[in-house]
Amino acid sequence: NAGVTQTPKFQVLKTGQSMTLQCAQDMNHNSMYWYRQDPGMGLRLIYYSASEGTTDKGEVPNGYNVSRLNKREFSLRLESAAPSQTSVYFCASSDGASKSDTQYFGPGTRLTVL
């Protein structure tokens, strides 16, 4: 099993450009998440999808959109990138069936916006 995969691994954008970060999981998990990691701030939740067909805003959703394409895939889109969106982005998934379920993380996408 590959677990959680993310593409691309690295990306450099100019201000105003758009891009989509892809995430897929092969663990048949119901819930998927997008986080951003910034120094000294830990992980902050951008959007999440509790189950296929649903998406909800997290702590820092502004400037982002998501699509839960199917049970396996959850994409994050930046419509007009800004330097403040320079960060490392992690996708995660979990079973979603209980309050104690564990999250599994992808390797991350390092995004720089110039």
Q: Is 84 helix (H, G, I), strand (E, B) or coil?
A: helix
By CB under 8 A, is residue 4 in contact with other proteins?
A: yes
Q: Which of 17, 45, 63, 86 binds other proteins (CB under 8 A)?
A: 45
* DSSP type of residue 62: T
d(C-alpha 40, C-alpha 76), whole Å: 23
Six-digit token string for 108: 């991350």
Q: Is 50 in the site for other proteins (CB under 8 A)?
A: yes
Cβ distance 48 to 99 under 8 Å?
Answer: no
Taking CB under 8 A as the binding criterion, the range among 19-27, 46-54, 60-68, 75-83 that sits at the site for other proteins is: 46-54
CB of 94 to other proteins, least distance (A): 7
Q: Does 67 bind other proteins (CB under 8 A)?
A: no
The nearer residue to other proteins, 17 or 104, going by C-beta atoms, is 104
DSSP readout, 17-36?
A: --EEEEEEESS--SEEEEEE
Binding site for other proteins (CB under 8 A): 4, 31, 33, 35, 40-45, 48-51, 54, 56, 58, 90, 92, 94, 96, 98-108
